[in-house]
Amino acid sequence: MVKETEEHKRSQLDKFGEQVGHRAKRKQQARERSKRTVWFGFGMFGLVGWSVAIPTMMGIAIGIWLDRKWPGEASWTLTFLIIGIALGCLNAWYWIKQESGHE
């Protein structure tokens, strides 16, 4: 029983070591890519903009369609506009996080 726990601890340490090594490698790669140009910044700016704009526009389109199909007191357009903006911001956050080299 003691031997099994020692083996389990050892395997956990090995997994932890692999994770640390993987993160260190990603960080090193990010540092090597740090010499980015202005064009990279413009591209990233565009990516973030479109990743917010497209879900927002889709939300508006769905909302308008629902307002025409099932009109009511609540505005479907406003509801789906907010949902689209939220999804777009999450999408932009994901891309920024990926590009910054973090997991």
Range of the domain at 23: 1-35
Residues 70 and 91 grouped into a single domain: yes
Residues 25 and 54 grouped into a single domain: no
Q: What is the pLDDT of residue 44?
A: 75
Confidence of residue 87 (pLDDT cuts 50, 70, 90): very high
Residues 40 and 30 grouped into a single domain: no
Residues 53 and 69 grouped into a single domain: yes
| Cβ(9)–Cβ(89) below 8 Å | no
Residues 41 and 58 grouped into a single domain: yes
Residues 49 and 21 grouped into a single domain: no
Tens-digit pLDDT profile for residues 60-78:
999 999 999 999 898 999 9
Q: Is pLDDT of 52 > 60?
A: yes
Q: pTM for the complete prediction?
A: 0.58
Number of structural domains the chain divides into: 2
Q: Using alpha carbons only, give the angle 17, 18, 22 rounded to the nearest 5 degrees.
A: 120
Q: What is the pLDDT of residue 99?
A: 75
The DSSP secondary-structure symbol of 70 reads S
